[in-house]
Amino acid sequence: MNKLYDLRFVIGVFFLIVGVLLIGYAFIGEDFFSYKMKINLSCGLLFSCFGLMMFALKKKK
């Protein structure tokens, strides 16, 4: 419960959820390597990495 009070954890969870959603959506109903897929996949990966980085910063503390 205590980690919920750590803002880095909350921000990390938010961006990880959004990132995973974008990655999942990138593969739905489009040709491989379409514009939609490339953008959503790369942004999804970026957001997921950012979310994980926030977790890492929290752990470092």
| H or E element that contains 24 | helix 7-26
User: How big is the CA angle at 23 (ends 3 and 15), to the nearest 5 degrees?
Assistant: 25
Nearest alpha carbon to residue 23 among 48, 55, 53: 48
Shortest separation between residue 30's beta carbon and other proteins, angstroms:
9
What minimum distance in Å lies between the beta carbon of 55 and other proteins?
14
Smallest distance, Å, CB 45 to other proteins? 11
Identity (one letter) of the amino acid at 11? I
Name the residues that contact other proteins, by CB under 8 A. 4-5, 7, 10-11, 14-15, 17-18, 21-22, 25-26, 35-36, 39-40, 42-44, 46-47, 50
